[in-house]
Structure 1
Amino acid sequence: MPSPIPVSRLLPKDLFPSVDAGACSSPLLKHGHTLHVPAPRPAGHGRYSRPWASVIVWPELRAVEPLGSGGFGSVFSAQYLGQSAALKRVNRSTKNRLASRHSFWNELNAAHARHRNIVRVLAASTCVPAEPWYEGCVGCVLMELCVSDLQQRIYGAAPLEETRSLRYAADVTHGLRFLHAHGVLHLDIKPANLLLSRDDVVKIADFGCSVKLEPGSDAVSPQLSHVGGTFTHRAPELLRGEPVSAKADVFSFAITLWQLLTREPPYVGDRQYVIYAVVAREMRPPLHGHAVFSGARGHVFSALLSRCWSAQPQNRPSSEELTEELLLLRGPGAPDT
């Protein structure tokens, strides 16, 4: 039987204020109750909006076209209530059904975040139509539609100048700063999960590996963290199965920034070799042989990356410190996105 969507993970009222909460909506809504959730103190530009409703009006979902697929799901472009949207269908894993369910609920860890650099969730449901297309589906998440991602942008044909690379990086740190301030660890920061909007703004997406910290805690125990994610970008403490904190996202950000600056893949070779070398030998992407790391400015980049991907999490800067450092790197007049 499908699980009801918790009242904390719901459709924004301003998108569809007259929806009829059906069988899969929160039981609190059925009886006319409203749950008031105190919002944490916001960090930077953004807010946590209060929840309202949680249904997907399936007859209003049209023109579904495939965009891509990942470990537990597939993403499609669609029209929903007259607006362009992205539909993520989380699929049931035949090898690990519990992991696929976790992936769906993790997608909603930042569902009520309203921030310029975080993909906005519009609706989510575990109640899907009884049609062949939805067979094997754990649940669906409707999100704002973006036009590209940093993976495509970095390795595309057009050159990626330093000023734009740093602006993209600043967008990521602003999003991470907001998430970390609200106790959300993404744990899968990489170029493919950093989407680009039509106005060329980076938005953090794909929260399938994310975790929500307990109030007052700054780390999560290994049994709660996920073994998924992308090994090339994962912090060594995650690879070792140790407790993780927001500093794990900082490590992943450093690998991504290196890619933005060099336009090269971070590692080559067998997966097991890379994991062993990162953990046991502290292997990192090379800081020599690239023009971007030469001269006084290049040394600043090298020093920043070295701190961000330090083997010791406590030696890495926070996402808040990263935001300030990138603003200085971008120079006077750079907008504080």
Structure 2
Amino acid sequence: MEIINSILQTPQAVFRRKPLVWALLAAVGTIWTGKTLASLGSFAWLHFVHRSSLERYKSKTPWALVTGSSDGIGKAFAHELCSRGFNVVLHGRNEKKLENVRAELLKEHPTRKVRIFLFDVAVSAGDHARLDAAVDQLEDIDLKVLINNVGGGAKRLWIPLQDYSGDDTRLFLDMNCRFQAELTQRLLPRLIKNGPSLIMNIGSFVSELPAPYISVFGGAKAFGKAWSRSLHFEMLTEGHDVEVLQVQVGMVSTPNEPRPENIFVPNARRMAQSALDKVGCGRSVVFGYWPHQLHCSLLVDLPSVVRDRLLMRIVKGLKEQEERDLKTE
């Protein structure tokens, strides 16, 4: 009993001798607790309470342009937008693939209209005349939504910097930085005129977690995040009714990358649905799918010495798997 009384009296004695120390500790604890509760509340509101305001961008004949929509997440966005009442412009470089997607959409959504925007980013990025001509073909539609989804780059992803070719570097930067910036720049006057309108940029959480072998790709995705945030505040500052939203994406199962689906790896349609549900949240950067945010936050919050070693081990395994897959092909 005496031991218990001693334990209980020790903090009181310390507090009497050093009340300022205890006051500071209490303040730090209160701030940390408040910040944690606010973060949890913000997470819950975004992913489980907030309702999309995509309907706000529908006019009599609303159109949405989805880049990189011949397959994967882009194709899923096209399906989801059609199901929510939008006509869709499909962008890609393979006309046959785009025609197949167009036929699929029209069969599933016979009341919608679907057009094709053919432009090969890998070949024609920087060809301003060709891009201008392609954009001019959209002059007659009421464009309300732009989904900058095209990304990727070289066939290999996990590449040591010294092994990059000039074409590898150019392709990563053209597909993940240059094209979305130049396309948006050309379409922005129209989106402002047709406002309210939406620009959604699809990013990656590699911009949140630097990892080996993706220095160029990760840097390109970090550009996309910074560019989106800047454009978001630019629209607010200029008083334009154009929502700019960067959506961070983790691993997704697609026909091109058929990963096993689980709670952390959704299929492309689920990813597109969840991303569109974040429209109107009032933020400039969000995770489109709640387990992706949870996964990323857990990694970010690890002590750096643990996180960095874990990332290096994971990425090294992914690089070795990629090399095996390329040999098999």
TM-score (norm 2): 0.22
Larger Rg: 2
Which protein has greater RCO, CA pairs closer than 8 Å, 6+ apart? 2
